[in-house]
Chains A and B, each alone.
Chain A
């Protein structure tokens, strides 16, 4: 990194904004097709009602909530990387911070779709807002679902503002190197930034304040999501371990998604000089750490169920491990806590194919974690005669396809039209490394 000049950084990043080829646009069209399929499924749901999904009595929560929790989880690594690691002065975060923040913003947008879908009657969604409606009823602020609405909307606002604030100096760089309409667009977007030291004086402090505020927020958001479950008395959910367990799981899945996106991106955009193997290796080491926490949480849940001698709790965890959805449980355990241990071997965590494969496996494992937590608990409640099963319908698969398509569609549009690596933060990193020999 020391050998990079500021011009090298600018040229490499600006090179990623060159007009795209046919393959890029073909991918964009395919992803847009995925979005259209999902929109069609949503329209079908609105027309025929929420019953077109596989949700039933007792499984009232299905893939809409599974995907909601999954995407909120994916959103967590961006803030971890941009805020927490910024406060910890971890230099390896700089090359991937922008992409991770972008991932956060788009993942929260995607997550935000699912409560809208899940309520079915989207046109009365304003019931969730703290407004005196025609029902003369206000939202119940004692409900974890309303905590969640407040937390997610705060998280979306804060991460979008943090992301945009970080972009301002880079937008000015693009403005200074472009002409015509493009220059005018970036002139407006960069808000007239000139890099005056009077601006830097406030900017550095503002960025630090953002990081300091986003850090407790990111911890709170997934804790609040976990309380959607833990504040209910449903067996398998009603436990104090849920908040830290969910936060660790969220960061675990988010870091895996960072690897899944960064590995092809650095190859396509030829940014290997900036997103070095050391950066990917550092992400892999953090995945080992979060994987161990998640594995510990799986073990603790099982242990506490056994140790409590509570027959309902014991039955729930027995069902999770060996019941209808045992395959999902074992995918979850193997992909999230056993496979990442391979990163203990340097040869594996420095191998691009291994990094990519393991990151995808962790993503699959984390999706199944949400499936197992949500479905096995509601399907196998207190009273045996109410037990049931759940399987998603084609409508739900279509909507799931929409969520993945939308996330990758937005991300791909961003990386081709905006700087996906923070030039300013890279220059700061190079400056720091050169200053310290």
Chain B
């Protein structure tokens, strides 16, 4: 953002007011930069038209890789000591599913964590610069970017909709 651009944050206690403001800003020439909140809100997510997260695919991929790793680790280790005991076969295919299952869950969770890091872009210490600490308490923060000459107008828009203003 160059020198002529500013960011104005409107803090709302009510999610419906915040959602209405989001729609208004999206319909305007100003830029909706971010919306912060203390809890996930369906009303605000709908106003932002957010699509469902793709993190499930990370978990699925992790789960499949995990099962294959677990099952074939058990198979591989059995072949390393191929001494027949009690006439039983070297490969215990059914019990190996237990190892496969545990690895499925472990790797699916690792996939989930990888999704957290990649999709949520965490750690994100730089984001703290544009963030109002009130948003972790009880406010929904709508951050609007505009030309410096429109700043007053944006503040009026936010204030008219019930926001406390932070710049």
- Taking Cβ atoms with an 8 Å cutoff, the residues of A that contact B are 5-7, 10, 130, 132, 136-142, 146-147, 150-151, 154, 157-158, 161-162, 165, 168-169, 172-173, 175-177, 187, 191-206, 209-210, 213, 216-217, 220, 224, 424, 427-428, 431
Between-chain CB contacts (< 8 Å), 26 pairs: A5-B138, A6-B137, A7-B137, A137-B81, A141-B78, A141-B95, A141-B99, A146-B99, A150-B99, A157-B106, A158-B109, A187-B125, A191-B122, A192-B123, A195-B38, A200-B41, A201-B53, A202-B115, A202-B116, A202-B119, A205-B52, A205-B55, A213-B112, A224-B98, A224-B102, A431-B41
- Residues of B92-150 at the interface with A, using a CB-CB cut-off of 8 Å, are 92, 95-96, 98-99, 101-103, 105-106, 108-109, 112-113, 115-116, 119-120, 122-128, 131, 133, 135-138
Which residues of chain A are within 8 angstroms of B128 by Cβ–Cβ distance?
187, 192, 194
> Complex formed: what's the CA distance from A205 to B60 in Å?
13
- Taking Cβ atoms with an 8 Å cutoff, the residues of B that contact A are 34-41, 44-45, 48, 50-53, 55-56, 59, 70, 73-74, 77-78, 80-81, 92, 95-96, 98-99, 101-103, 105-106, 108-109, 112-113, 115-116, 119-120, 122-128, 131, 133, 135-138
Task: Flag if A427 contacts B38 (CB, 8 Å).
Answer: yes
Task: Flag if B81 contacts A158 (CB, 8 Å).
Answer: no
> Complex formed: what's the CA distance from A158 to B125 in Å?
25
> Complex formed: what's the CA distance from A205 to B59 in Å?
11
Contact among A130, A194, A198, A424 with B73 in the assembled complex (CB-CB below 8 Å): A130
Shortest Cβ distance from B131 into A: residue:
A194
Please report whether the interface of chain B is mostly helix, strand, loop or mixed according to DSSP. Answer: helix
What would 10 more interface pairs be, CB under 8 Å, given A150-B98, A209-B59? A132-B80, A141-B77, A142-B78, A151-B98, A158-B105, A158-B106, A169-B136, A192-B127, A198-B120, A203-B120
Contact among A138, A158, A195, A202 with B136 in the assembled complex (CB-CB below 8 Å): A195
Task: Flag if A210 contacts B112 (CB, 8 Å).
Answer: yes
Query: Which has the most chain A C-beta neighbours within 10 Å: B36, B73, B109, B127?
Result: B109
Task: Flag if A142 contacts B136 (CB, 8 Å).
Answer: no
Contact among A136, A161, A202, A424 with B38 in the assembled complex (CB-CB below 8 Å): A424
Which residues of chain B are within 8 angstroms of A154 by Cβ–Cβ distance?
102-103, 105-106
Task: Flag if B38 contacts A139 (CB, 8 Å).
Answer: no
Task: Flag if B109 contacts A213 (CB, 8 Å).
Answer: yes
Shortest Cβ distance from B116 into A: residue:
A206
Task: Flag if B55 contacts A161 (CB, 8 Å).
Answer: no
Which residues of chain B are within 8 angstroms of A141 by Cβ–Cβ distance?
73-74, 77-78, 92, 95-96, 99
Task: Flag if B115 contacts A195 (CB, 8 Å).
Answer: no
> Complex formed: what's the CA distance from A138 to B105 in Å?
23
Which residues of chain B are within 8 angstroms of A220 by Cβ–Cβ distance?
98, 101-102, 105
Known pairs A213-B59, A431-B39; A10 contacts B137 (CB<8 A): yes
CB distance from A217 to the nearest CB of B (A): 5
Shortest Cβ distance from B109 into A: residue:
A158
> Complex formed: what's the CA distance from A169 to B120 in Å?
13
Which residues of chain A are within 8 angstroms of B77 by Cβ–Cβ distance?
130, 138-141
Known pairs A137-B81, A194-B36; A206 contacts B112 (CB<8 A): yes
Contact among A191, A424, A428 with B124 in the assembled complex (CB-CB below 8 Å): A191
CB distance from A206 to the nearest CB of B (A): 5
Known pairs A137-B81, A142-B95, A187-B128; A200 contacts B40 (CB<8 A): yes
Shortest Cβ distance from B96 into A: residue:
A141
Which residues of chain B are within 8 angstroms of A209 by Cβ–Cβ distance?
55-56, 59, 108, 112
Shortest Cβ distance from A6 into B: residue:
B138
Task: Flag if A197 contacts B37 (CB, 8 Å).
Answer: yes
CB distance from A184 to the nearest CB of B (A): 11
Known pairs A176-B136, A220-B101; A199 contacts B120 (CB<8 A): yes
Which residues of chain B are within 8 angstroms of A142 by Cβ–Cβ distance?
78, 92, 95-96
> Complex formed: what's the CA distance from A141 to B96 in Å?
7
Shortest Cβ distance from B135 into A: residue:
A195
Known pairs A6-B137, A130-B77, A142-B92; A197 contacts B36 (CB<8 A): yes
Which residues of chain A are within 8 angstroms of B44 by Cβ–Cβ distance?
197
CB distance from A112 to the nearest CB of B (A): 15
Task: Flag if B137 contacts A195 (CB, 8 Å).
Answer: no
Task: Flag if B40 contacts A196 (CB, 8 Å).
Answer: no
